[in-house]
Amino acid sequence: MSTIASHSLPQRNYDHPNRSLIFDATVLKHQSNIPSQFIWPDNDRPNPNPLELDVPLVDLRGFLSGDPSASERASRLITEACRKHGFFLVVNHGVDADLIDDAHHYMNRFFEQPLHEKQRALRKQGEHCGYASSFTGRFSSNLPWKETLSFQYSPEKASSHIVENYFRTKLGENFAHLGRIYQEYCRAMSNLSLGIMEILGMSLGVRREHFRNFFEENESIMRLNYYPPCQRPDQTLGTGPHCDPTSLTILHQDTVAGLQVFVDDQWRSIRPNPEAFVVNIGDTFMALSNGRYKSCLHRAVVNSESPRKSLAFFLCPKKEKVVAAAA
């Protein structure tokens, strides 16, 4: 549950401008209203019945088995989607279903802890990784109704246990198993993203291995998103409108709807599909494509009944790489 509590003042004074805010859903769920810091302007509030976005379903089975015609078909579908809005779904992607299930299951192990336990991994100011309960330390209005845990991943040999070590260092030996699960999950996401980069190379008319080689030594970010139920989902957002600054995002949603994309001047939803990953182009790849492919505004909404969880892998190039449009 999410709540805003004060460190030193009575809990009822939520709107005091100088208070330090804490988002703890287990406290906020007992209140009839939500604190004003989480209330978004009327023009940003969610539509209760958005239209569904027509997102192509790209079957990767043929591509992964080396079938040229299937690869060409996947390339055409991705080209069309990336020119319109940058979002598509991939199925038959080769990622083990049990691994995906475990990655979702073990999110509960972390997010269901008391707040003070989760704060052992608290994100420090200026850093990209760690635990964040909303953005209460960074902003004072339009706060998102969510909690996240972010950590780095690199496929390099020297970083072969980077995720496992992060969980062990921040949360203790009891969480080492979670670290191993997410290490394996990140490895699968990195491999999947490199395959998608091959298809993107084909679709943009460059060498098939061009983008794969560029991202082979990636320095990426994995984020676990947890959106608690909210008693006033019509007034707030789980994540505000944004474009991803990274290159490629691979998202797995649970069965609870919430992802929306801004297309043709309106917000449209992407229905959860447990067998598919949602893939979208980020700002960095938009630059690599010389603006031919879109990095599109998207957001997450919440509901009053069920928590929503998602797994987001943000593919990023190695820091020394120079980002320039392909010739």
Q: Which residues are catalytic?
A: 308
Cα torsion 171, 177, 180, 186 to 10°: value is: -70
Alpha carbon distance 145, 134 (integer Å): 6
CA distance readout (Å), 114 to 2, 19, 111: 11, 22, 8
Q: Which tokens in the block code for residue 64? A: 């992964």
Give the Cα-Cα-Cα angle 162, 163, 165 (nearest 5 degrees).
65
Question: What strand order describes the sheet that includes 147-153?
Answer: 57-59, 87-91, 277-281, 248-253, 308-315, 220-227, 147-153, 130-133
174, 166 Cβ separation under 8 angstroms: no
Alpha carbon distance 132, 120 (integer Å): 11
